[in-house]
Amino acid sequence: MNYQELTLQVCEIARTTGSFMAKERITFDDSKIEVKGVHDLVSYVDKTAEIRIIEALQSLIPDAGFIAEEGTNDKRGERFNWVIDPLDGTTNYIHGLPIYSVSIALLDNNELVSGVVYEVGHDECFYAWKGGGAFLNGKPIRVSTRAEIGNALLATGFPYSDFSRLDAYVEMFKWAMTSARGIRRLGSASADLAYVACGRFDAFWEYDLKPWDVAAGALIVTEAGGKVADYKGGSDYLFGKEIVATNSFIELPL
């Protein structure tokens, strides 16, 4: 499997999907919103985008399965499985905020081997493949080299449906607020991770995330020289519903 060639093909799929979403945003209104759960929204744009992505990916690896947010295809592959978030940042999209992303990753026997995050609003395509480094619109990217927390810009995602760990989250937020240069919350975990990969953020943490939120971005961070882990420092960040990504110098007291 030529992961470089495959990843570049996925970049085109992500860009095409992003163009569709940007066009639909022009006439989008609240009447087109559906509610999946507490503060968990979806629309025909998410579902249509996912269907289009899956149709395009099927031609690349016919036997591959899918782990996709909207569940439009629940086929599982014996070796290959695509992990897809067609629109990461749905709330941003609904409210007209420009940060939302297409996130597509490939698992080869449960190992991340390809990842693409297309941040639509700024026309930025971040991508990586196993052992090949990380890129933004064709140019290599690396994580930052900031080692002092006082010089670091951190990113996080606020809890929106699972508040069982809220107290611990607030304590961590207090530490970050008083220790770091600043904190940002974009509303798209895949974009947060991509921004760590290219050095805009020095670290990112969030809990209650799904595999499709983090799969592509995690590989991009790793290939850019960063470190990705769960809160205990282990490797259960893909399905473990918690992730911390850093430039390998900054450490967060999670």
* DSSP conformational letter for 73: -
Q: What is the CATH number of the domain that holds 92?
A: 3.30.540.10
Give residues with Cβ within 8 angstroms of 96, minimum separation 6.
25
* Within-domain flag for 252: no
Q: Verify that 172 and 232 share a domain, yes or no.
A: yes
Question: 24 pLDDT exceeds 80?
Answer: yes
Residue 113 has what pLDDT? 98
Residue 181 has what pLDDT? 98
Residue 74 has what pLDDT? 86
Q: Of 127, 117, 176, 124, nearest to 152 (Cα)?
A: 176
Q: Which of 114, 141, 168 is the last residue of a domain?
A: 141
36-54: average pLDDT: 79
Question: 16 pLDDT exceeds 70?
Answer: yes
Q: What is the CATH number of the domain that holds 168?
A: 3.40.190.80
Q: Verify that 50 and 157 share a domain, yes or no.
A: no
| Number of other residues whose CB lies within 10 A of the CB of residue 163 | 11
Q: Hey, what long-range contacts does 136-143 have (CB within 8 A, 24 or more apart)?
A: 136/194, 136/198, 141/197, 141/198, 141/199, 141/224, 142/198, 142/199, 142/224, 142/225, 143/196, 143/197, 143/198, 143/199, 143/202, 143/221, 143/224, 143/225, 143/226, 143/246, 143/247, 143/248
Q: Verify that 9 and 128 share a domain, yes or no.
A: yes
Q: Give the residue carrying structure tokens 């953020």.
A: 201
What's the pTM value of the predicted model, to 2 decimals? 0.95
Residue pLDDT, tens place only, 202-246 = 999 999 999 999 999 999 999 999 999 999 999 999 999 999 999
Residue 169 has what pLDDT? 97
Task: Note the residue count of the chain.
Answer: 254
Q: Verify that 12 and 112 share a domain, yes or no.
A: yes
Residue 208 has what pLDDT? 95
The DSSP bridge partners found for residue 68 are 84
Mean pLDDT of the chain: 95
- Check if the beta carbon of residue 34 is closer than 8 Å to that of residue 58: no
* Within-domain flag for 254: no
198 three-state secondary structure: coil
Q: Verify that 198 and 118 share a domain, yes or no.
A: no
103 three-state secondary structure: strand
Q: Verify that 30 and 128 share a domain, yes or no.
A: yes
Count CA atoms within 13 Å of residue 93 on its CB side: 29
3-state secondary structure 222-253: HHCCCEEECCCCCCCCCCCCEEEEECCCCCCC
Residue 64 has what pLDDT? 98
Q: How far apart are CA 96 and CA 76, in angstroms?
A: 34
Question: 134 pLDDT exceeds 70?
Answer: yes
Residue pLDDT, tens place only, 69-92 = 888 888 999 999 999 999 999 999
Residue 28 has what pLDDT? 85
Question: 39 pLDDT exceeds 80?
Answer: no
Residue 107 binned pLDDT confidence (cut-offs 50, 70, 90): very high
- Check if the beta carbon of residue 155 is closer than 8 Å to that of residue 201: yes
169-196: average pLDDT: 98
Residue 44 has what pLDDT? 85
* Within-domain flag for 253: no
Q: What is the extent of the structural domain holding 123?
A: 3-141
Minimum mean pLDDT range among 44-53, 80-89, 120-129: 44-53
Minimum mean pLDDT range among 35-39, 80-84, 169-173: 35-39
For a pLDDT cut of 70, what percent of the chain falls above it? Answer: 98
Copy the structure tokens of residue 53. 């992505």
Residue 40 binned pLDDT confidence (cut-offs 50, 70, 90): low
Question: 37 pLDDT exceeds 60?
Answer: no
